[in-house]
Structure 1
Amino acid sequence: MVQTAVPEIQEIEIGEAVNARTQALSSFHSLGPPDLVHLTKVHARTGVKEAGTYHYVTGIDPSSASIAAYMNTLTYAPGEGQIWFGKVQHWNIQTGVYCCYNSLSRVDLRVRVHIPGSVEAFVIDERGEKHPVTEQLMLETYICSVIRAFLFADDDDYNITAYRRFNPIPNREAEEKFLEAASKMFSRGWQFGSELEVQVPTLISNNLTAAFFKYLDLTKSYDAGVNLLEKLREKDFDFSALLARCYLEMDEEVKAVQLLHEGVQESHRDPNLLDLQTKFCMTKGRLDFAVATAKRAVDSAPSEFAPWARLVKVYIEQQDFQSALLTLNSCPMFPYQNVDLHRMPVAQRVHLPIPAEGIIQEIVDDAVAGEGETTTVDPALARLPASSLRGTFAKAYDLLVEIVHETGWDMLLKYRSKVFIMEEEYRSLKTETSSLKKLNNHSRADSDASNVAVNGRESSADVDDEEGLPNIVKPESSVDAELVKGSEDGHHTTSAAASAKDDKSSTTFRSKRLCERWLDNLFMVMYEDMRVYTLWRAESAHYKAQQLAYKKSLREWEILGALAVRMRHTEEAAEAYNLALDIRFSAKALKGLMEIYVEKKEPINVLHAAIKLTSYDHRWFKEFSPLLIKAMQGLVQEEGSQKLRNMIQGSDYSASVAEMMDVYFDIAKQFHWPGYEEDDDGR
């Protein structure tokens, strides 16, 4: 078994990290932060306290026995010296405190372990008061810890220093405990909060169900999931949507359709059942059915983002882009809430040791710039706003990208001007209605000018004369709602006094919608992405034609790769990521490449990327990544476990790196992944 290293942050004053967490408890509004492990160390000979250190962790069972076992892994044989902060230190761990947040009861479970000695468990409330632990509190805390382990594992917002991540369900024994606990807590699932795209957590849409389906996806234990959900459905019919979803994910379409039919007959306004119907109809190409069920889902849950987004997708597949834009404009948007991370005291020292095994040398030096390597970043790349979008705004931007991917930028602007009131259009009409002169000439001139700008023949933003590089048209601003406040009366009076052509102009204007300010901003965000992407491709072609080297820094290639992914240009994204890796190792670039390899079904490239990323995660104390498990799961299913083992052993990786990959085959064996051979290596 490849041993993992333990990161440590040393405090200035012993215990201040735990105190800071206690003071911050009242500020947690969702799942809370990762678990905190605090250690008090004493000199091995004198017994005098020397230091307080801490690190973060997820994936550890918060029961007292499991925490005591975890603390034991942090100790060494008595009297042995350890390399700590580059020096041999003679100390022992005297006490350890494990802190795990319970988001339901809004308390922090604390388990204090004396080494050697006793184990004490208690909870701290938001006022800092101490209370005894009950069985119900332990159950709630356990479920919270599993949810965090699943949902935080690959979340970049939780890339904090000294953070260890473990698989919360590594075997069947852990699975049984999770299913038993989940069955007791599903009825209170809405209390665990929800993902960013859900405004109000429900029995069906919440963080517990999100973690539950991620567990099913990683383990393929759909039979166990069906058994649990069938029992829950007998008690509460609302669980039909989750059961139908489980059937669909395990390719039991007949059972899923029968259940959806029964469910809609019983509750014809259930938005979750209707959304599943819509999704299923889309996979079968029946967009006529899909649009009907999607509209009913929107009517049933008008304040939720997901049904509106599904309807937008249906319209996009129907090539009805005007309806897609109007529907997108109606989506309810929710502000992004920061993750539950609190300010910690200033550290005295930080120790991030390199593990002794499982490391690839090029990965160890990933943070060190090479000789002569430029590390500057073009400000135009650094300030691209799309990379900072979160929640519903990120999802809405993806939908807008789908539309522009189908139509092109110029056509998107045309559709936009057809359905939304543009500022220049409004000002022109306002001037015309007040003067009642030359309305037809003005309207024709405005229309011609708009067409010229959209087609890109006379717009100053369309061609950069100095550089000779192509660019894109900058979108006009839509009208602000305040400008048209009270305009209905004005239009009514004008149409009574104007000619028939004036009536037509007013009617056309009044048939349009006001564009929501957030959507107007997303058009500008996309313009920046499109402009930078177009400039990059033009410059690249220019340098290639001149047979010159087109150089960027590592960070710039990473940004360009992410930009190409957002714009759905897979080949260009792969090009940028490969150029980043040519400079030196980049986990971000390799992760992006692996996703492209998975999509293009290139098993050898996927395997080598997974090996390197597993080693990278191991170096940074991360032993659980759903992204990598899914990639290896697909490889096992397509290639078989024995073939993959042979490919790993036949490569140039060290024995410890090859051994480190056994964790995926252990999961495959435990949960009987498709493609795993039972007699593989005698296992």
Structure 2
Amino acid sequence: MVAPAVPEIIEDENTIYASVEARTESLPNLRELGPPDLVHLVKQSKTAANQQFGVYHHVTGIDASSSASLAAYVNTLTYSPLDKQHKVVAGIYCCYNAFSHVDMRVEVKIPGSLESYCIDERGDKRVATESLWLETFLCGVLRAYSYADDGSGDSIKKIVGVRRFNPITNTETEHKFLDAAEKLFFNGRQLSSDPETQVPNTVSNHLTSGLLKYIHTTGRYVSGINLFEKLRTRDVEVSSLLARVLISADEEVQAVRLLHDALQDVPMDYALLNCQATFCQSKGEAEMAVECAKQCVTAAPSEFTSWARLAEVYVGLEQWDLALLTLNSCPMFTYQDKDAPRMPQPSRILLPVLAESVLDEIDEGSEGEGHEMVHPTLKKLHAAGYQGTFLKAYDILTRIVAAIGWDQLLKIRSEVFVMEEEYRAERQVSTSRTTTSPQNASTVALHESSSGDANVNGNGVDAPSESSESVVVKEVDADADEGAKRSSQSGIEKPEQSVASEVAKSGNEEPDSSHSAYARFRNKRLCERWLDNLFMVLYEDLRVYTIWRTEMAQSRQQSLDYKKSAAEWEILGELAERLHHFNEAIEAYQQCLTIRFSPKAMKGILKLYEKQGDTRGMLGCLIRLIAWQYRWYSEFSPDLLFTIRKLIEEEGAVKVRSIVQATNLPQPVLDLTHQYCQLCATFRSSGSDG
């Protein structure tokens, strides 16, 4: 299989090695798995030996188990069919070791010497030992999965010039990977964790996430079960990971027994309780799930995932008030993005295309992509930029509004939270009276009522008045007022503000508990500022969505074309998908694809065919998505590999290959998809043997 083309980011002639120096300077600031590997080459003119310049690109998925394997990659770059005027005279491969916080480097002179060493956070040289190479190899595999694109193109567009390779292409490499994971498993908490986890631990970190992602993608459940069985003998907490793999492998009875036995040993392990709640929820046993989720919150009250699970269970039970109160108690964390390279401004960027990935509908579509007009209102939809805990919380909120509607959501919101208007009215009354009551609006709203008739948290655990790291989302722009007038015709009411806990705490007035109006909000809670802003962001999403659907309906009635740019259709498709209007999202994505190719829109259409069980439609989307990925130097997408593996399991490899081959597209493009099918055969996936 031919490798993707090599992008070249060309440095200024006077600043050779500037990218390597910038990487060295960034080492103290790395907090996650580190940036993609950096490959820097020095090129020299074949006619003038004194004319040298530096070029570089990024790469993931290269075997980083030794200096020889990295040097071998550099040697593959010495010949370029696109540049016959220059030759490569030196190269440096930089690969970050997130365990020991050093940058492993291999320096190659062509022809000539090879030197391997590592650079620590202070910029000092250190000896590259075997243990450091083992850690680097494991980090390289995890980074390949972490930085891989999901098919939508979002990850590819974030960093320019990244070649993405599959780090594990056979069972021998898999054995090497799992062996390294076993040796370093209990150091995994050093690698940080997903943004929804506040404190990395033995079972929640980037190593365990990478292992589960690999097993899920390739379907190598037996390998995963064997690994976690061995690790469980050293720490019973690993049982939660083993149970998740067993459930994925359709060994549910064994998984339930394991969860039961493990909880006898560690009854307050929140990972086990969360796994149990998720399983009960998946089986429609919401009543059982809610008890597990409550225990999970009790075990880990400072973790977002435990509160979010309880909120999801309440949504399933249609207990909307408890879902909102639980959501309000979620501890929110500042989103920590993946480590990205910070490079100096290049003089030029060359992004070549190999003939093997040329597909007219893709190439023609990308020509005018950056020059499309997008209405300012669509650019200002803040929900599109949510990540981490805020993305998850917003998803729960949108599920509630999709189920009960906006008006009902506002009604329940006013019933469970102290609204600003009633708080002000009560405060005005309280200023004209004197009282010795030790309670104020803040403490009453934040604690259980003395009558004890309502378990407002749904779990018996008092929520903190402030989340550990509340992040105030930007307020909706002032021009929303004009749009509110338009959307009000369609029944979208702008929400009033609730009173934030910090506002209530700032007042010195003591409310009069004898006043009759006080009972109306004495059992209510104070809404966290971040949740209040989520309501405003949700309102803006619904407002834009309602205007779009109203204008579309009017255009159809008048037999007029409703025109939008491809970028606008893509945004509208994301908006509808975010609000759980699946059919409307597909409609927008289809409109986008009639104008130009969009991986995000094609990924949306893939979901439609998946829902309909249309194998031919799915493969048509997959062929194009794989070709687009390859066009941008990525030969590996775990999500696309998973989809093909599931298709092969259901339909059989022969049928899948036949449908792909029968497609009226260039053979090199079809071969790219055949490569994914071959990978399933290599790993002996179900259905790949016939």
CA shift, 1:91, in A, is 2.3
Aligned partner of 2:513 among 484, 490, 495 = 495
Q: Return the alpha-carbon distance in structure 1 between the equivalents of residues 488 and 121 of structure 2.
A: 62
Q: 2:373 is matched by which residue type in structure 1?
A: T
Q: 2:335 is matched by which residue type in structure 1?
A: Y
Structure 1 residues 489 and 296: alpha-carbon distance in aligned structure 2, compared to 1, 3 A threshold: farther
Structure 1 residues 374 and 116: alpha-carbon distance in aligned structure 2, compared to 1, 3 A threshold: closer
Structure 1 residues 659 and 157: alpha-carbon distance in aligned structure 2, compared to 1, 3 A threshold: closer
Q: 2:203 is matched by which residue type in structure 1?
A: I
Structure 1 residues 363 and 466: alpha-carbon distance in aligned structure 2, compared to 1, 3 A threshold: closer
CA shift, 1:570, in A, is 0.8
- SS of aligned partner of 1:357: helix
- Residues 277 and 289 of structure 2 are in contact (CA less than 8 Å); yes or no, is this contact kept in structure 1? yes
Q: Return the alpha-carbon distance in structure 2 between the equivalents of residues 197 and 327 of structure 1.
A: 16
Out of 669-678 and 528-537, give the one that drifted further.
669-678
CA shift, 1:2, in A, is 3.4
Aligned partner of 1:420 among 408, 417, 420 = 417
Q: Return the alpha-carbon distance in structure 2 between the equivalents of residues 469 and 26 of structure 1.
A: 54
Aligned partner of 2:69 among 61, 66, 71 = 66
Q: Return the alpha-carbon distance in structure 2 between the equivalents of residues 567 and 83 of structure 1.
A: 47
1:231-258 CA distance string (max 9 Å, x none) = 1111222211111111111110111111
Aligned partner of 1:389 among 379, 382, 386 = 386
- Residues 471 and 531 of structure 1 are in contact (CA less than 8 Å); yes or no, is this contact kept in structure 2? no
Q: Which residue of 2 aligns with 1:572?
A: 584
Q: Return the alpha-carbon distance in structure 2 between the equivalents of residues 35 and 600 of structure 1.
A: 40
Q: 2:269 is matched by which residue type in structure 1?
A: D
CA shift, 1:517, in A, is 0.2
Q: 1:90 is matched by which residue type in structure 2?
A: Q
1:629-682 CA distance string (max 9 Å, x none) = 12211221222111111112211111111212121112111111122125xxxx
Structure 1 residues 600 and 47: alpha-carbon distance in aligned structure 2, compared to 1, 3 A threshold: same
Q: 2:88 is matched by which residue type in structure 1?
A: I
Identity within the alignment, %: 48
CA shift, 1:469, in A, is 5.0
- SS of aligned partner of 2:513: helix
Structure 1 residues 294 and 103: alpha-carbon distance in aligned structure 2, compared to 1, 3 A threshold: same
- Answer yes or no: is 1:139 the counterpart of 2:134: yes
Structure 1 residues 495 and 15: alpha-carbon distance in aligned structure 2, compared to 1, 3 A threshold: closer
- Residues 315 and 321 of structure 1 are in contact (CA less than 8 Å); yes or no, is this contact kept in structure 2? yes
- Residues 557 and 576 of structure 1 are in contact (CA less than 8 Å); yes or no, is this contact kept in structure 2? yes
- Residues 377 and 555 of structure 1 are in contact (CA less than 8 Å); yes or no, is this contact kept in structure 2? yes
1:339-380 CA distance string (max 9 Å, x none) = 32243112111110011213211212322239xx98211111
Q: Return the alpha-carbon distance in structure 2 between the equivalents of residues 646 and 28 of structure 1.
A: 47
- What is the aligned residue count? 637
Structure 1 residues 64 and 483: alpha-carbon distance in aligned structure 2, compared to 1, 3 A threshold: closer
Q: Which residue of 1 aligns with 2:248?
A: 249
- Residues 40 and 49 of structure 1 are in contact (CA less than 8 Å); yes or no, is this contact kept in structure 2? no
Q: 2:688 is matched by which residue type in structure 1?
A: Y
Q: Which residue of 2 aligns with 1:106?
A: 101
Q: Return the alpha-carbon distance in structure 1 between the equivalents of residues 487 and 339 of structure 2.
A: 47
- Residues 217 and 639 of structure 2 are in contact (CA less than 8 Å); yes or no, is this contact kept in structure 1? no
Q: Which residue of 2 aligns with 1:475?
A: 495
- Residues 82 and 90 of structure 1 are in contact (CA less than 8 Å); yes or no, is this contact kept in structure 2? no
1:374-413 → structure 2 map (5 Å cutoff): 375-413=372-410
Aligned partner of 1:515 among 527, 539, 546 = 527
CA shift, 1:522, in A, is 0.3
Q: 2:70 is matched by which residue type in structure 1?
A: I
Backbone CA RMSD of aligned residues:
2.1
1:75-107 CA distance string (max 9 Å, x none) = 23xxxx8433xxxx3322112111011112111
Q: Which residue of 1 aligns with 2:86?
A: 91
- Answer yes or no: is 1:2 the counterpart of 2:20: no
Q: Return the alpha-carbon distance in structure 2 between the equivalents of residues 40 and 549 of structure 1.
A: 55
- SS of aligned partner of 2:39: strand
Aligned partner of 2:611 among 599, 606, 622 = 599
Out of 416-425 and 349-358, give the one that drifted further.
349-358
Structure 1 residues 468 and 244: alpha-carbon distance in aligned structure 2, compared to 1, 3 A threshold: closer
Structure 1 residues 539 and 90: alpha-carbon distance in aligned structure 2, compared to 1, 3 A threshold: same
1:464-509 CA distance string (max 9 Å, x none) = 7779952510111011324422779723xx234x4xxx1xx31231
Q: Which residue of 1 aligns with 2:329?
A: 330
Q: Return the alpha-carbon distance in structure 1 between the equivalents of residues 289 and 368 of structure 2.
A: 52
- Residues 194 and 207 of structure 1 are in contact (CA less than 8 Å); yes or no, is this contact kept in structure 2? yes
TM-score scaled by length of structure 1: 0.90
Aligned partner of 1:484 among 504, 507, 510 = 504
- Answer yes or no: is 1:581 the counterpart of 2:580: no
Instruction: Give ranges in structure 2 of 5+ residues lacking alignment.
Output: 434-479
Aligned partner of 2:56 among 54, 70, 73 = 54
Out of 45-54 and 280-289, give the one that drifted further.
45-54
Q: Return the alpha-carbon distance in structure 1 between the equivalents of residues 606 and 421 of structure 2.
A: 46
Instruction: Give ranges in structure 1 of 5+ residues lacking alignment.
Output: 437-459, 679-683
TM-score scaled by length of structure 2: 0.89
Q: Return the alpha-carbon distance in structure 1 between the equivalents of residues 194 and 38 of structure 2.
A: 23
CA shift, 1:46, in A, is 5.0
1:209-231 CA distance string (max 9 Å, x none) = 00001100111111111111111
